Amino acid sequence: MNINQINADKLQLLQGYENEGRGINCVRQLVAELRAERMVSAAAIASNEWDKISSYPKVAQMIKDLRLINQDAYISYHMVD
């Protein structure tokens, strides 16, 4: 089992506890991309769905730890003056 598979399993387990046990659909999609070793697609999902993901601090932190999103770049790019 490679590191992406291990991280996918951890993220799958973590997201499953959120949203009253229903999990987070966009994170399940991200996990599927990690398992398929499609890191660019996983990062795209993280970026596109960050508004939802960031509502779940533990999940968001794990995604940041996996370096699938650079929050500082995301915030500066999406901020409106």
Q: What is the pLDDT of residues 18-47, one digit of tens each?
A: 999 999 999 999 999 999 999 999 999 999
Which two tokens mark 58?
Answer: 């533990």
Burial class (CB in 10 A: 0-12, 13-18, 19+), 63: buried
**What's the confidence (pLDDT) of residue 75?**
54
The pTM (predicted TM-score) of the whole model is: 0.82
pLDDT over 90 (residue 4): no
AA identity, residue 71 = Q
4 versus 55: which is more confidently predicted?
55
Cα three-residue angle 18-20-26, rounded to 5 degrees: 45
Spatial distance between the Cα atoms of 73 and 49, rounded to a whole number of angstroms:
15
Beta strand ranges found along the chain (DSSP E): none
